[in-house]
Amino acid sequence: MKNKTLLLLAVCINLIIIFLLIHKQNKIIKLLYENQQLTEQKDILLQQKKMLTLQYHKGQQLSSIQTFAKNNLKMSPIKLKEAKTVCAPTNAHEISNAGSQGQAQGRGVEKDISVKPA
């Protein structure tokens, strides 16, 4: 009787170990499969990102922007002598001067680009 119980116990333990091993292997394969599916999804997303990046850069092509600006917006290239910039005042004194000049002239403080140091 005692021997039979021991034998049964040993068989049960073995069965449990086998079950756990199979379960572990099953779990690993399942996770591996999920991992592969996610990797595939990631690859698809990366591919889409690549396509969007490509579209973005195609849209950014200077030649097409220039053609659009010239033909559709009737823009023309700026010349150096035409370039002016409105300088932002840097201190309170300049702000008050700029304000009065701007009010008097109805515009900001203009400065010729050619005299601005690099």
Partner 1 sequence: MDSNHNNYLRFFTVIIVFFLLYGMIILNLYFIQIQQTSFFKNLGDKQYNITLQTLPQRAYIYDRNNNPVAINKDSVAAFILPKTLTQQEELFAFLEKHFPQAFERLAASRTKNFMFIKRNLTQEEMKAIEKANLTDINLLNESSRFYPYESLGTVVGITDIDNNGLFGIESQYNKQLAGTPTTFNLKKDAKSHHFYFSKETKEQGTDGEAITLTIDADIQFKMQTILNEAVERYGSQEAGALAMDPQTGEILAVVSYPHFDPNNTKVLDMETTKNRPITNCFESGSVLKIFMALAAIQEGVTALDEIIDCENTKETRLDHLRIRTIQPHGKISFLEVIQYSNNIGTVKVAKRLGADLYDYYKLLGFGESTGLNFPGEQKGFVNHPSNWSAYSIQSLSYGYEMTTSLLQLARAFSLLINGGYLVTPKLIQDHSIEKIGPLVSQKTLDDVLTILEATVQAGSGTRAQIAGYKILGKTGTANILVNGKYDEDRHLYTFIGAVQKDKYQRVIVCYVKDSKRATYASMITAPLFKELAECMILHEQTKNMSL
Q: Which residues bind partner 1 (CB under 8 A)?
A: 29, 32-33, 36, 47, 50-51, 53-54, 57-58, 60-63, 66, 78-81, 83, 85-88, 112-118
Using the minimum distance from each CB to partner 1, give the nearer residue, 11 or 86: 86
- For the chain, the distance separating the N- and C-terminal CA atoms, rounded to the nearest angstrom, is 101
By C-beta, is 1 or 62 nearer to partner 1?
62
C-alpha dihedral sign at 6, 7, 11, 17: positive
Q: Considering the complex, state which of residue 6 and residue 49 has its C-beta at the smaller distance from partner 1.
A: 49
Question: Closest distance between partner 1 and the C-beta of residue 104, in Å?
Answer: 22
Nearest to 78 by CA among 113, 41, 117, 29: 113
The tokens of 72 are what? 């559709």
What's the CA gap between 97 and 93, in Å, rounded?
A: 6
Residue 103 beta carbon to partner 1: minimum distance, rounded to whole angstroms: 20
Q: Considering the complex, state which of residue 8 and residue 31 has its C-beta at the smaller distance from partner 1.
A: 31
User: Token pair for residue 116?
Assistant: 């601005």
